[in-house]
Amino acid sequence: MRLEATAVQAGSANFSDPAVMERIVDGIAAYLRAEKIASFSAFIGSVVA
């Protein structure tokens, strides 16, 4: 399974919660730190179940 969100989905979420983009970015950064992934580019395409 690949984990993805489109810009349309993230943009739509912004209508109901204007702070959602900051939380998405913070959540991704926290996940990368916890999993010891060096960069976002190293993460892209790597999550497959």
Question: How is residue 40 written in tokens?
Answer: 């976002």
Percent of the chain past pLDDT 70, that is, above it, reads 82
* In-domain check, residue 7: no
Number of compact structural domains in the chain: 1
Quote the domain boundaries for residue 23: 18-49
* In-domain check, residue 46: yes
CA distance 3 to 19: 21
* In-domain check, residue 28: yes
Is the confidence at residue 19, as pLDDT, over 50? yes
pTM, rounded to two decimals:
0.66
pLDDT band at 2 (very low <50, low <70, confident <90, very high): low
DSSP result, 1-49: ------HHHHHHHHHH-TTHHHHHHHHHHHHHHHTT---HHHHTT----
Residue type, 45: G
